[in-house]
Structure 1
């Protein structure tokens, strides 16, 4: 069984958020991508439309998750699933970073507010 060690994971920093890529085609997965997302304190993520289903589990901190205009607070251990085609956003209004584990299928992409399509490198 191959193991991806945290020290070997690729890290990407975008919009006050750190994405640590753990499982993706580049590390041997054929179907799934898993990454850790750390959202800086007092920051709001860039709202975007996801072109595939995305699942989230909050590991630490607190966030507000918005899916298609419906917002709800999340505490550690809470989970959310955003359906393909939904508009999502995550906000951390606390003074501490928040950490989520996220999973999608290989080939995942998002549409940014300017209409461009983005395939995140942590999911390819």
Structure 2
């Protein structure tokens, strides 16, 4: 049975947030990717369009999730379903947040300038 500890995470810092990747194809998953997202207080995220659905579960703190221009403040225990192709931005107010994010492998994100990124934690 595959299990992972924090020491097993592949850690990336991008746009002011930290992505600790646990589940991905190079860690044994056939279809899913999952990571812990740590977002500091006062961060304004970068809008992007994910190619695959994502599920965001707030583990601690508070996330402001904006989907296609509509914002919602998620508290600990709240979940957002991000449809593929929607425009997503994740911000924090005076309180930072930790979340668990799950998607299918192969996710690409299209940025506002039209460029695309294939985050290594989602491959």
| TM-score with structure 2 setting the length | 0.97
d(CA) in 1 for partners of 2:119, 2:89: 16
Q: Secondary structure at the residue paired with 2:112?
A: coil
Q: 2:54 maps to which residue?
A: 54
In the alignment, structure 1 segments of 5+ residues that lack a partner are none
**Alignment length, in residue pairs?**
123
Verify: 1:99 aligned to 2:98, yes or no.
Answer: yes
d(CA) in 2 for partners of 1:63, 1:3: 27
| TM-score with structure 1 setting the length | 0.96
d(CA) in 1 for partners of 2:42, 2:91: 8
d(CA) in 2 for partners of 1:37, 1:2: 21
4+ residue runs of structure 1 moved beyond 4 angstroms? none
Report the alpha carbon displacement of residue 97 of structure 1 after superposing the two structures with TM: 2.4
d(CA) in 1 for partners of 2:122, 2:84: 15
Between stretches 56-65 and 2-11, larger displacement belongs to 2-11
Deviations 1:77-108 (A, max 9, x none): 000001111000011011x4200100000111
RMSD across aligned positions (CA): 0.8
d(CA) in 2 for partners of 1:27, 1:17: 22
Q: 2:86 maps to which residue?
A: 86
d(CA) in 1 for partners of 2:97, 2:24: 22
Q: 2:5 maps to which residue?
A: 5
The answer to whether the 8 Å contact 2:11/2:19 transfers is: yes
